[in-house]
């Protein structure tokens, strides 16, 4: 029975992903193309290169996880590299059975060689147009010190390019060190400019972080698993019809949970909370969307209807246009 379900998942070609970081999704092949483009020397051995960009099999440490972003970001500091990386990622997603994805990145992290945030965004949009896969971009603001101006610039850029390749903004970074409540001004601006947003919350920090994100107006929460710690927050999620972007393997790698069976996925389903399943950082976590779906199907004894519902939730919660959502739902039903 379970083998039949796993085979069905493996053969799916109508998948949707909402939580996917560009700098956590550079495959070995993509890295080689970017390095060649920029005359950057990288290891010739694939396994050695993989060890630089992926966590070890026994990673349960946030520090190891975070160091893995340094190398891919070093390859993403020119307009051509950003454009090519987006295009290559989309081609890889097509092969993995995706029909739609929202790719997120922080423009301010790609300015180390002199690019402006706007040049970064323009290059990414050009990359989108080089592939047939339907995708949108989410621009991430970053938690941290002394970058309020950069975050405000990101929000304004999202407003400028909304519905032109950009679909939303996000807040990423060290949630445990920089509370979600500190960023109310950013999302007040996003609301004023009619820019939709999701917020990383309820991962390194508790349910209070999710509460603040919803209070700001977020209709989606990146991760959000620790909302399970507060019944009032769970009630608020249902009341506001918020969707959680669950990333199972990532939450193990960053030590939110020791094992997938510890995650509150079944509790969310039993309480009719809308969830989607995502990879977060597929190359860093050594995974892909089908593998994530298979893992939770086995651990939580799910059926094919559950898997399809995750895809429907993703379409409905996406920041895609109404017309595109209708097209995606038709593909899911066929």
Q: Which long-range contacts (CB under 8 A, 24 or more apart) does 184-187 make?
A: 184/212, 184/216, 185/148, 186/141, 186/151, 186/152, 186/155, 187/216, 187/217, 187/218
Q: Residue 233 has which token pair?
A: 């927050």
Q: Is 300 exposed, middle or buried (0-12, 13-18, 19+ CB in 10 A)?
A: middle
Q: Half-sphere exposure of residue 288, counting CA atoms within 13 Å on the CB side?
A: 15
- Tell which residue, 131, 128, 122, 104, has the closest CA to residue 319: 104
Q: Which of 92, 102, 175, 203 is catalytic?
A: 203
Residue 203 annotated among the catalytic residues of the structure: yes
Alpha-carbon gap, residue 18 to 200, rounded angstroms: 12
> Residue with structure tokens 């029975």?
1
In Å, how far from its chain's centre is CA 41?
29
For residues 247 and 52, the answer to whether their CB atoms sit within 8 Å is no
Alpha-carbon gap, residue 30 to 36, rounded angstroms: 10
Alpha-carbon gap, residue 327 to 100, rounded angstroms: 10
Q: Phi first, then psi: what are they for 40, rounded to 5°?
A: -100, 130
Alpha-carbon gap, residue 184 to 181, rounded angstroms: 6
Coil vs helix vs strand at 294: helix
Beta strands in 68-214 (DSSP E): 98-105, 134-142, 166-172, 198-201
- Tell which residue, 16, 21, 83, has the closest CA to residue 53: 21
Catalytic amino acids? 203
């Amino acid at each position: 029975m379970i083998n039949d379900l796993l085979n069905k998942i493996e053969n799916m070609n109508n998948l949707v992903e909402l939580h996917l970081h560009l700098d956590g999704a550079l495959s070995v092949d993509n890295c080689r193309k970017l390095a060649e483009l920029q005359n950057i020397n990288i290891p010739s051995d694939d396994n050695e290169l993989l060890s630089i960009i992926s966590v070890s099999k026994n990673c349960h440490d946030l520090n190891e996880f975070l160091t893995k972003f340094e190398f891919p970001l070093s390859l993403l500091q020119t307009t051509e590299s950003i454009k090519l990386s987006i295009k290559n990622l989309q081609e890889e997603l097509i092969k993995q059975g995706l029909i739609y994805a929202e790719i997120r990145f922080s423009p301010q992290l790609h300015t180390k060689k002199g690019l402006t945030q706007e040049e970064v965004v323009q290059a990414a949009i050009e990359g989108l147009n080089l592939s047939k896969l339907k995708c949108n971009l989410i621009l991430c603001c970053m938690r941290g010190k002394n970058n309020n101006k950069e975050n405000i610039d990101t929000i304004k850029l999202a407003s400028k390019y909304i519905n032109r390749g950009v679909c939303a903004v996000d807040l990423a970074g060290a949630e445990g060190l920089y509370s979600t409540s500190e960023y109310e001004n950013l999302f007040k601006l996003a609301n004023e400019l009619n820019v939709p947003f999701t917020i990383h919350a309820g991962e390194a920090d508790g349910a209070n972080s999710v509460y603040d994100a919803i209070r700001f107006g977020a209709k989606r929460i990146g991760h959000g698993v620790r909302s399970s710690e507060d019944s009032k927050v769970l009630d608020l999620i249902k009341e506001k019809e918020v969707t959680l972007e669950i990333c199972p393997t990532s939450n193990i790698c960053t030590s939110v949970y020791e094992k997938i069976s510890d995650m509150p996925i079944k509790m969310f389903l039993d309480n009719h909370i809308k969830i989607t399943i995502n990879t977060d950082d597929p190359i860093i976590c050594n995974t892909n969307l089908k593998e994530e779906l298979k893992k939770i199907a086995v651990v939580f004894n799910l059926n094919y209807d559950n898997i399809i519902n995750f895809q429907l939730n993703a379409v409905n919660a996406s920041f895609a246009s109404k017309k595109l959502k209708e097209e995606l739902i038709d593909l899911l039903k066929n």
